[in-house]
Amino acid sequence: MDERITEYRDAVYEQVVKVGKSLGNVTRLQLLNILAQGPKTVEVLASTVGLSVATVSRNLQILKQINLVAIEREKNFVTYRLNSERVKQLVTLLVDVCEETLPEMTILEKTLAQETGAPEALTGDALKTKLMADDVCLIDLRPADEFASQHLPGARNVPYDQLDQRLAELPKDKEVVVYCRGRLCAYANVASQQLQAAGFKVATFNQSVWEWSRVMTETE
């Protein structure tokens, strides 16, 4: 019986290790965080992370083998998506643990905020209060397909690469709150610097859309 207990223990740990190994790679974590924003083709993913289609495909296959991602086929197109909401939760939890246990993570975040002159990031509760008061203009900096997949209520989509050309669309009589893909993304901080230089009152929300939905669920 003791032998069976040991055999089972080793076997189940080995399964958990499979997931852990797949996450121990910068490219694969990037892919998971991007897919948390919505489904994408290999070509779009490759362009987003700045790697070859072959490299991205290889890493997606590793994630698919352990069922962290799934594929959808339509004619000649293959689209990848996260296999479940649990995968979003897993990525978020990894970031939470890093912030709690690794001083380097906090230093990186604080340094970026200082370099860009970004104001202290809003919490989910603080943003909810501002939205209820209807005294902010909420800007989603992600690409249009990610915005279409899911976005914060009342948000306006101004992709980061269009920001400079669309400043005239933004109000100067309201605080502008910018958000992007969450804490593993620097776009919100960099955009806040550009907006402040253009004379806007700015705040950042550095959590992901999924984290926002979690805040809303917990406060309902």
Helix intervals (H) in 24-171: 26-35, 42-49, 53-65, 85-101, 103-116, 124-133, 144-149
Domains of the chain: 2-87 (1.10.10.10), 102-219 (3.40.250.10)
- Which residues are annotated as catalytic? 180
Predicted confidence at residue 91, as pLDDT, reads 94
In single-letter form, the type of residue at position 109 comes to: E
Q: Is 202 helix (H, G, I), strand (E, B) or coil?
A: strand
Q: How confident is the model at residue 135, as a pLDDT?
A: 85
pLDDT in tens, the chain (220 residues): 788 999 999 999 999 999 999 999 999 999 999 999 999 999 999 999 999 999 999 999 999 999 999 999 888 888 999 999 999 999 999 999 999 999 999 999 999 999 999 888 999 889 989 888 888 999 999 999 999 999 999 999 999 999 999 999 999 999 999 999 999 999 999 999 999 999 999 999 999 998 888 767 665 5
Torsion on CA atoms 110, 111, 115, 121, rounded to nearest 10: -20
> Residue 45 in contact with residue 56, Cβ under 8 Å?
yes
* pLDDT recorded at residue 181: 97
- Cβ contacts of 91 within 8 Å, gap of 6 or more: 29, 32, 33, 36
pLDDT of residue 213: 82
